[in-house]
Structures are given as structure tokens and as C-alpha cells.
Chains A and B, each alone.
Chain A
């Protein structure tokens, strides 16, 4: 009889709060151990930037730092996603840099498996657990989707309302509890439970919200716009000023409920004819949608050197001038300071609130 293979210790880079879903899929679906490295810090960015090429986009540096922290925390198998922009080449270069640094690990680079054939994804999963049980993995995958769905829904609701919390902290506490619960769930029932508790808490906590609060829409790059550490908590900072913060872009909207490139593109045919980049159509549509719905301001978040997001800037400027909606473009790299960002956000807030007073 064959000896029992030890469970692989799998790690994925830190990415907003989605690591709870990765952990669920790895542990419940693939029956491996998921190593959860520490949350992103300045230190993560610094070690990442130190070993990265200079003008690669900032998420690469953060991801490299996060993978180094995962290896230090005991991971022996790293999973890196594929992608449609430069992200698709992250895996190969990350592996090379880590090997040159002397780390020893197994790399599952999904770029190698994105061949267009579905069964190749199974091969990638078998690298993590050769004895994968398909029914179990499929069920866990669906539960993971549900989890991401709930996470995005609660997060969206949180940023739309937390600035108007009448209790001075209950709302934030309920959101934190929800996140903590998601990092611990082991079954479908526990996922549902965490979700319903968060919903009930959000309904219970009294809000002090005007009938027409200031609304700001956030569009931007798939990593930096969603990851609170990478954008220095832009959403929280805005919400704390008393703004209803909207962000359509998240994993569930882009992948699970995406209406498809073509269906989205028809709505912005006048602005853009072709798909300009992997998230460009969604961002342009979304920015226009916010503008048309009378939002008070738009914020475009991207990392330094993000090619597709740099390229949609002329279109966003056009939306801004045609709909007369103030648009703030923020670029984040590992140097961006918290104070500088605060000054810009305060100035932006002052401007949109004064415009509001003039119009009403």
C-alpha cells in the first residue's frame, strides 16, 4: 500500500479579503492545508519592491512580497493566477525571482494551464492534491462562489453606509466580525450563518443618513481598487467624511455575474468601439453609469504603470467633461503617502460638497 502523502501547504498572494475564499476552496475542496500569510503591510511592499524589476506594475511588487511572507510562514506550494494583461506573466517571473532568492517550493502557475481546454484546470488542481475528489471539489467551488458573492455584497453595503453610523463604531465592528467569521467557516451552513448575522446587524444598527447623501463612484484596476491596503483605505477615508461610496468592480461582478464583454460593450458603443483592456469595458460602462445616475464624483484608482487603466483615462476624462462630474485620478505605488492622499481626498470632498450646495 502506498504511503500517505503529506498534505501540501498551499499559499496564494494576499488579495483584498478574498483569501478567506481561497482558504475555503483549498481546505474544503482540495483537502490541502492553506497557509495564510500575514496581512499586507509596508514591509510586504518594501521586500517586494526590493526584488522586483523597476517599472513593473505595483501589484507585482506587493504579490512578490506577499509570497515571500507566505514562504516564510511555511508554505511549500504557491499558486499564482493567470490573467489577461501583464498579470498573465506574473507567475513565471515571480517563480524565477523566488528561486533566485534561494527558496524551494512547488509552483502552480495557472498561466501554464490556461490553454482553453477545461480539463487542463483539473490538472492544475491535481498538482495541489493528486487524489482530488471531484464531487467534493465541485461542491466546495460552488460554495466558494457563494462566499465571494456574500463577501462582495456585504462589503458594498458596508462602504455605502458606514460613514453614517449613528453609534460610532457598531457598523465597523459588525463588518469586522463578518470578515473574521468568513476566515473560519468550514461548511455551507457556517457561510450562510455569517452572512445572515452581518445582514441582521446592518439592519439593526441605526444610521444617521440624509435623504440625499453625497455619492462617489469608484472605478479602477482589479487589484488596487479593491485592496484596501494598496489604495491606503481610500474607500474608508471617503466614507468617514460622510460619503456614500459605491464600487461596482469586484470579483463577483466581474466573473460570477458578468454580463459578458459584448453585452456590456453595446451600452458604451458611443464611447468605445473595442475592448480596450481586460477591465476597461466594465470600468467605462460603470463610470458612465455613475455619472448618468447623478453621482457627485468619480474616483479612478490604479497602480503605477497599469497599462489598461492608463489607457482608459482619456475616455474617463470625456465622461467627466460631458456629464460635468468631478473626476479624481489616483495612482498608487509603494511610495504613495497617506498624508498626501488625505489632502487630495479632502480637497475633492470640499469641492463636491460645495458644488452640491450651489445646485440645491
Chain B
């Protein structure tokens, strides 16, 4: 049997009508939300999202995995728990890489099997697609296989994937264009360089962005950028960096560093790739104010606010606006 025809585990002859698919609103949801939601709704499945992150979700997630895990993983497992028992399947893809030097943090390779072990006492089924281009699994074949293993016919899956992919590209391009306009706006602009799952998180990233807006600063996101151009731009600064998302973030910053007044390096404690890449960035990238913020889930917002205020004050002072 060829690898592509291998059934995914937990396969069962599902009735294609009204499957309920749960999607945790954490980690790569913030990168692939449109792709995932469109794919399943095009197939006719019902998509259930976990609620927006709150303190209870974080606390429950922290209790499920070892405290050495990163904040984002704790949030993820908290989200997963809210969905367990409520859906036919919960989507936890295994995402390893999109090719050489386009890898993801190893944690994304492990999430599916971690979830299976952690929730082994329940009869919850998890649904995965395996994105591992170095091992021969392109996104397209992985989606086709996932859809067919749920019992949907090839043609329907193919159509759903094509629609979802188009929709994903269209919305992302629109987001990038909207942000490009903001770069030209008047006022103090601060670029937030942090993983989308942190910046877009309703509990952590949102409070940061709101605080910045209150200070009349225009917050911008480094992850909203032409991804390919950004990866190319990061080549020179980080030649052997193999993490796709970190290269995009750093490239996003390099492409726009002359259009912003300061940069915030936002990371979750203790993010593996960020620990190294941000250190490198601080050592190699001079001449622009950089604030490093590490969120650990313990701190109240007061500490963060103080640091943001002094950072913005420094920028204003530097530009003679204070």
C-alpha cells in the first residue's frame, strides 16, 4: 500500500451527513482558520469552535499538560478540553514542514498524539491531516485523504479543498493589503513581531493591542505580509533558520523596518524557536527601538502596560514629540 492511500487512524465509515467537527481556537487556528472552516462547511459538516480564550481555559489547559510546556500549548489544551465530548471529531492536524527550511516547531508534530494520550479516558475521536512535505505529504494530498477518510467522495473533497484554498488566499491577501495601507498612515506605528496565535489570542494579544490603541499608537502585525517575500528577506539575517513562521515574522519586520517607529518582540514563555531567533534578532538588528515582551500567563496586565507606556514614551522622546 502506498503511503497516500493509508487510512488515517480512527477511521470509521462515517455518515457524510452532518458530521460535527470541533476546532480549537488556538495555535494554528489563527493561521489556517479560513482554510479549515471553509473546507469543512463546503463538505457539509458542522463546525464548532471553542470559546475565546479566558482565564479558565488557560488554567484547565495548564492542568492537563506538564508545566514545562509553553503558554500557547497550555491554552491549546484548554481549548481542546472545552470541545471534548461535544463533537464527532476534533481537528488537531500534525504539521511538520512545508519543505526544506520551511519547518514548524516540533510541538506541532506532537499535538495530535499528545491529545490522544491525554484524552485517552474519553471516547473522543481526533482528526488529523499530516502536512510533511519532506516525507511526501503535501497539503493538498493530506486534505484529500482526510476528507475521504471521513467518508466524503473524492470529487466533493477536491472541490471543498479548492474552494477553501482560494478563499484562504483571497482573505489573506485582503488582510495584507489592509495592513499595507496602515503603514502609510500618520502617527506612531509599532510593529508587533509575534506568532499569530499569540497576537490574535483574545486573552493575551488583544489586551496588548487595545493598550497600544489607547496610547494612540497604530499597532501593526509582522505576520501580515507577503509570506514568500518575507521568507526571502529573512534569508540574509537568519541563513540557517528553518522555522517557517519565524522567518516570515523576521522578514515581515525587515521589509517594513523603515516604515515603523518601534518593534515589539512578543513571545510566549518558553517558546523554543523564539528563544533563539529573537536573541539573534536583538544581536544582529540595530538601529530601531525593540521591546522584548515574554508572556507567561502569571502576570497581571499592569506590568505589561507600564513597559508599553515607557517604550512608547521613549519613541516619542526620540522623535521629539514628547
A272, A280, A310: residue with the most chain B Cβ atoms closer than 10 Å: A310
Q: Which of B69, B128, B242, B271 contacts A273 (CB 8 A)?
A: B128
For residue B221, CB closer than 8 A to chain A, the reply is no
Asked if B241 contacts A86 (CB within 8 A), the reply is no
For residue A263, CB closer than 8 A to chain B, the reply is no
Which of B82-90, B101-109, B152-160, B200-208 is the interface stretch?
Answer: B101-109
A276 to B275, alpha carbons, bound, how many Å?
A: 21
CB within 8 Å for A53 and B106 given contacts A271-B117, A311-B114: no
> Top 7 closest A-B pairs, CB basis?
A55-B270, A311-B110, A276-B110, A314-B117, A53-B279, A111-B240, A272-B113
Q: How many chain B residues touch A (Cβ–Cβ < 8 Å)?
A: 42
A360 to B238, alpha carbons, bound, how many Å?
A: 59
**Which of chain B's residues have a CB closer than 8 A to the CB of A331?**
68
A41-58: contact bitstring with B at CB < 8 Å (1 yes, 0 no)? Answer: 000000000000111110
Nearest residue (CB) in B for A331 is B68
Nearest-neighbour CB distance to chain B for A360, whole angstroms, equals 31
Nearest-neighbour CB distance to chain A for B140, whole angstroms, equals 18
**Which of chain B's residues have a CB closer than 8 A to the CB of A116?**
100
Nearest-neighbour CB distance to chain B for A208, whole angstroms, equals 39
A81-103: contact bitstring with B at CB < 8 Å (1 yes, 0 no)? Answer: 00011101101110011001000
A89 to B243, alpha carbons, bound, how many Å?
A: 9
Subset of 23 A-B contacts with CB under 8 Å:
A53-B275, A53-B276, A53-B279, A55-B270, A88-B240, A89-B243, A89-B277, A93-B280, A97-B283, A111-B240, A111-B242, A115-B100, A271-B117, A273-B9, A274-B109, A274-B112, A276-B109, A307-B105, A307-B272, A310-B69, A311-B110, A312-B110, A329-B66
For residue B120, CB closer than 8 A to chain A, the reply is yes
For residue B94, CB closer than 8 A to chain A, the reply is yes
Asked if B114 contacts A277 (CB within 8 A), the reply is no
**Which of chain B's residues have a CB closer than 8 A to the CB of A307?**
105-107, 272
Nearest-neighbour CB distance to chain B for A36, whole angstroms, equals 26
A150 to B270, alpha carbons, bound, how many Å?
A: 38
**Which of chain B's residues have a CB closer than 8 A to the CB of A100?**
283
For residue A278, CB closer than 8 A to chain B, the reply is yes
For residue A190, CB closer than 8 A to chain B, the reply is no
Asked if B68 contacts A56 (CB within 8 A), the reply is no
Knowing that A273-B94, A305-B68 are A-B contacts, what are 5 other residue pairs whose CB atoms are under 8 Å apart, sorted by A's residue number?
A53-B278, A92-B239, A112-B239, A273-B116, A311-B110
Asked if B241 contacts A92 (CB within 8 A), the reply is yes
**Which of chain A's residues have a CB closer than 8 A to the CB of B128?**
273-274
List which B262-280 residues lie within 8 A (CB) of chain A: 269-273, 275-280
Asked if B113 contacts A318 (CB within 8 A), the reply is no
Asked if B276 contacts A277 (CB within 8 A), the reply is no
Nearest-neighbour CB distance to chain A for B258, whole angstroms, equals 24
- B residues neighboring A (CB under 8 Å): 8-9, 65-66, 68-69, 94, 96, 100, 105-107, 109-110, 112-114, 116-118, 120, 128, 130, 238-243, 269-273, 275-280, 283-284
Asked if B109 contacts A305 (CB within 8 A), the reply is no
Q: Which of B109, B242, B270 contacts A89 (CB 8 A)?
A: B242
Nearest residue (CB) in A for B9 is A273
**Which of chain B's residues have a CB closer than 8 A to the CB of A276?**
106, 109-110, 113-114
Nearest-neighbour CB distance to chain A for B109, whole angstroms, equals 6
List which A250-296 residues lie within 8 A (CB) of chain B: 269, 271-278, 280
Asked if B241 contacts A54 (CB within 8 A), the reply is no
Nearest-neighbour CB distance to chain B for A157, whole angstroms, equals 33
A315 to B8, alpha carbons, bound, how many Å?
A: 19
A56 to B270, alpha carbons, bound, how many Å?
A: 8
**Which of chain A's residues have a CB closer than 8 A to the CB of B116?**
272-273
A53 to B116, alpha carbons, bound, how many Å?
A: 33
CB within 8 Å for A96 and B283 given contacts A274-B113, A312-B110: yes
For residue A353, CB closer than 8 A to chain B, the reply is no
Nearest residue (CB) in A for B65 is A314
CB within 8 Å for A112 and B68 given contacts A89-B276, A273-B113: no
Q: Which of A53, A109, A274, A329 contacts B130 (CB 8 A)?
A: A274
Asked if B269 contacts A55 (CB within 8 A), the reply is yes
Nearest residue (CB) in A for B64 is A314
For residue A313, CB closer than 8 A to chain B, the reply is yes
Asked if A313 contacts B66 (CB within 8 A), the reply is yes
Nearest residue (CB) in B for A284 is B113
Asked if A310 contacts B240 (CB within 8 A), the reply is no
A2 to B139, alpha carbons, bound, how many Å?
A: 54
Nearest residue (CB) in B for A90 is B276
CB within 8 Å for A56 and B276 given contacts A280-B110, A308-B110: yes
**Which of chain B's residues have a CB closer than 8 A to the CB of A111?**
240, 242
CB within 8 Å for A305 and B272 given contacts A272-B113, A273-B128, A278-B106: yes
Q: Which of B9, B113, B238, B273 contacts A92 (CB 8 A)?
A: B238
**Which of chain A's residues have a CB closer than 8 A to the CB of B130?**
274
A100 to B110, alpha carbons, bound, how many Å?
A: 35
For residue A304, CB closer than 8 A to chain B, the reply is yes
Nearest residue (CB) in A for B271 is A55
Asked if A89 contacts B240 (CB within 8 A), the reply is yes
Nearest residue (CB) in B for A313 is B66
Nearest residue (CB) in A for B3 is A262
Asked if A305 contacts B113 (CB within 8 A), the reply is no
Nearest residue (CB) in B for A277 is B106
Nearest-neighbour CB distance to chain A for B316, whole angstroms, equals 29
